Structure 1
Amino acid sequence: MTGSQGTTRTVARRTVVAAVGGAGLTVALTACGGSDDTVQTGSGQPAGDGGAAASGGGTGGAGGTVIAKTTDIPAGGGKVVGDVVITQPVAGEFKAFSSKCTHQGCAVKEISNGTINCPCHNSQFDASDGSVKAGPATAPLPPASITVEGDSIKLA
């Protein structure tokens, strides 16, 4: 390209591609920033419906959002409800953890034989405390705050 003063400038194609890629990255990172009005639970996990709509739950009283019924969670097993996995390691004792595997963030899918199992890389977590029973995960599942009122399990 020749300017008005007779100098010639050439812009390399890789410079243009890098500039466009940088602009796209900036837009993507800005979009991932999210909103600052997200409510956090005591477990550090964002509060939400926790899959309540999918499980037929609704909003309870002061205790939080109903995410499951106690009858939905088998003794010695558990159930994934949205972003939470609820277990009943011993009859009448309910525990809850994040349903995201600490290895690479896959959603855990199955609770059997006292373990919460991730289908992506076969990590296993103890259903009673979320600790790692088998890797590749090295960190436990973070606990989620729940309350049990009557036959309702609520996200606190």
Structure 2
Amino acid sequence: MTAPIARRRALTAVATVGLTLPVLAACGGDDDPGAGDDTGAGQGDDLPTGNADPTPGSGTTITATKDVPVGGGTILPDQELVVTQPTKGEFHCFTAVCTHMGCIVSSVQLGGIRCECHGSAYSIEDGTPVNPPATEALQEFPVTVKGGQVTIA
């Protein structure tokens, strides 16, 4: 009778290890910002992430005023900035790095700066979040407008 008990214990041990390893692997760290995301979006495959210096230099010309539509904005992915013009002649500059998971925002439309990674949206007027999951505002950089150019103040 000892043989079946030993066999049963061995099978139980194998089954326990077989179930434990995948659970432990699932709890491990992952450098992918989309890992563990239950939305199915932004799994980190080829989504841009913010890696530039977050503080553009004072006096840096960033875009022409003609390239920023009234009631909207333009994204400058290389500088990781977004420039908006909520009303004619009123310009704002924000980081283009989403405060939720660090993706670069994807569009400026319907009065919002939108991030396709997880659906966050921000106000074009002050960078505050208007649609979750983001809860923190985009960092704003003061600008000056002269000669048709938007420049970091």
Q: Bin the TM-score by the shorter chain.
A: 0.5 to 0.7
Q: Name 1:129's counterpart in structure 2.
A: 126
Please identify runs of 4+ aligned residues in structure 1 that moved more than 6 A: none
Alignment gaps of 5+ in structure 2: 1-52
Paired residues of 1:109 and 1:119 also in contact (CA < 8 A): yes
Deviation of the 1:155 alpha carbon: 2.0
Q: Secondary structure of 2:141's match?
A: coil
Q: Which amino acid aligns with 1:99?
A: A
Q: Secondary structure of 2:133's match?
A: coil
Paired residues of 1:84 and 1:144 also in contact (CA < 8 A): no
Q: Name 2:13's counterpart in structure 1.
A: none
Question: 1:99 aligned to 2:108?
Answer: no
Deviation of the 1:144 alpha carbon: 1.4
Q: Which amino acid aligns with 1:73?
A: V
Question: Which residues in structure 2 correspond to 1:1-150 (within 5 Å)?
Answer: 45-47=54-56, 64-81=59-76, 82-150=79-147
Q: RMSD of the alignment, in Å?
A: 1.5
Q: Which amino acid aligns with 1:65?
A: T
Number of positions where the alignment pairs a residue of Structure 1 with one of Structure 2:
99
Indicate the percent of aligned positions where both proteins have the same amino acid.
Answer: 40
Distance 1:115 1:98 in 2: 14
Q: Secondary structure of 1:71's match?
A: helix
TM-score by length of 1: 0.60
Distance 2:72 2:130 in 1: 16
Alignment gaps of 5+ in structure 1: 1-39, 49-62
Deviation of the 1:69 alpha carbon: 0.5
Deviation of the 1:65 alpha carbon: 1.8
Q: Secondary structure of 2:97's match?
A: coil
